Structure 1
């Protein structure tokens, strides 16, 4: 299983929200590129970036910060947040980002999603953010009537290879992740599932790896010291390769 330490960006800073609530934000660093380099030194091979401002506004806001991090090298970098046009996808890929995550656009414009998958293949992933089992969009500010598990199965049929599935209720709460949801999703053959939201303990990572989950995103638990990245890497990260999830 691959590990993806996360950096959520707001106004050029590394922050964390609780359950996607922009009013419950903690700033952890004014130098996100330094945070990324620290993760690399601790053994990370991958990095998960989210432009929180972009997700809310519908257009990339922290592009320059993402570009700076990607330019440092040594990490497989994926980014999401406000990426809703092909030009924005192309700009990120041209800037050195390895994989672009589509969220709201994948729900609102399936034709656009299919075009991006046809053109860029595995460099396109979809972020499926679930609130009480329903897909949420627009920076988690809106909830649709789409069943999140059915939507993941539909994405597989469209040719999407990687899904980042987040249980919003678990995100930032340090109360553990939704293991039953990932056990169910792991049964979707041909779809690499990356778990996100609430992962707090090494034992959870072992369980996710055992059930066949392709990757796990680590956020607040790293920033608060509940998890040590170097220990997590030694426990579950694939012995070779980069950005395999």
Structure 2
């Protein structure tokens, strides 16, 4: 399943290089128009990130995201700045299919486990954005990738086993926006170690060969962002390859 992605700041579509807010590219096409074009191309889902929320720790694009969910014809999963159950419930009740929880999944796992039990495992995705350490292990970062984590991805995932967590999204920050290929070895290891989890991959896709390489792993989903904005290939081709 291909998940085309849009990142939102100040009401528009942007992309960051390696999660750096100082390396931002703005795109002029309105977010809803982008979403509708993806629906017309055959997408079923869309991944939407509130980057203002991820950076500042409070949701900022909720109304726009709800408009996209209501009018695009796509199922939407979204995250960025979600810190309270009420925020998640507003999104889900407003038409969003799945809430994506990032930083709090690392810093306050007990709260996130409670949210999963409250809204249901199908409605929550835990997003773990990792830097690869000098020891070769992946370490989840927090607060819009601005703070490095001390626990490995494996420690974080082990803590969620048996809690009802179903869907995870893992991004290698060092590959995000670079379009040089995804961290295939990392995704293989996740799928081998945690076969009960639905893995959505993110970061690094720049060619159809990259898409095909990821599809060969048979993950639950593949997120593609910048490559579609920059017209490296079409969404139709990515879905078909």
| TM-score, L = length of structure 1 | 0.92
Using the TM superposition, name which of 199-208 and 33-42 deviates more: 199-208
- Measured after TM superposition, the shift of residue 11 of structure 1 is 0.4
8 Å CA contact 1:12–1:30 kept in 2: the answer is no
What residue is the counterpart of 1:112 in the other structure?
111
| Alpha-carbon distance in structure 2 between the residues aligned to 1:199 and 1:173 | 8
- Measured after TM superposition, the shift of residue 213 of structure 1 is 1.3
| Alpha-carbon distance in structure 1 between the residues aligned to 2:27 and 2:141 | 26
| Alpha-carbon distance in structure 2 between the residues aligned to 1:179 and 1:149 | 16
Give per-residue Cα distances to partners, 1:117-176, cap 9 Å, x unaligned: 112221011000001211100000001111113323433332210000000000001111
What residue is the counterpart of 1:204 in the other structure?
210
What residue is the counterpart of 2:135 in the other structure?
none
Aligned structure 1 segments of 4 or more residues deviating by more than 6 angstroms:
none
Q: Secondary structure at the match of 1:60?
A: coil
CA RMSD after TM alignment: 1.2
Q: Does 1:172 align with 2:171?
A: no
Question: What are the ranges of 5 or more consecutive residues in structure 1 without an aligned counterpart?
Answer: 236-245
What residue is the counterpart of 1:239 in the other structure?
none
> Which of these residues, 145, 152, 157, is aligned with residue 157 of structure 2?
152
8 Å CA contact 1:8–1:14 kept in 2: the answer is yes
> Which of these residues, 182, 189, 193, is aligned with residue 184 of structure 1?
189
Q: Secondary structure at the match of 1:157?
A: coil
- Measured after TM superposition, the shift of residue 225 of structure 1 is 1.3
Higher relative contact order (CA 8 A, sep 6+): 1
What residue is the counterpart of 1:93 in the other structure?
92
8 Å CA contact 1:152–1:163 kept in 2: the answer is no
Q: Secondary structure at the match of 1:198?
A: coil
| Alpha-carbon distance in structure 2 between the residues aligned to 1:220 and 1:30 | 14
Q: How many residue pairs are counted as aligned between the two chains? A: 234
Q: Secondary structure at the match of 2:151?
A: strand
8 Å CA contact 2:50–2:60 kept in 1: the answer is yes
Q: Does 1:11 align with 2:10?
A: yes
Question: What are the ranges of 5 or more consecutive residues in structure 2 without an aligned counterpart?
Answer: 133-137
Q: Secondary structure at the match of 2:206?
A: coil
| Alpha-carbon distance in structure 2 between the residues aligned to 1:217 and 1:123 | 18
Alignment of 1:1-245 (within 5 A): 2-120=1-119, 121-132=121-132, 133-187=138-192, 188-235=194-241
| Alpha-carbon distance in structure 2 between the residues aligned to 1:79 and 1:157 | 24
Give per-residue Cα distances to partners, 1:11-60, cap 9 Å, x unaligned: 00000000000111111135101110011111111100000000111111
8 Å CA contact 1:128–1:152 kept in 2: the answer is no
Using the TM superposition, name which of 223-232 and 151-160 deviates more: 151-160
- Measured after TM superposition, the shift of residue 73 of structure 1 is 4.4
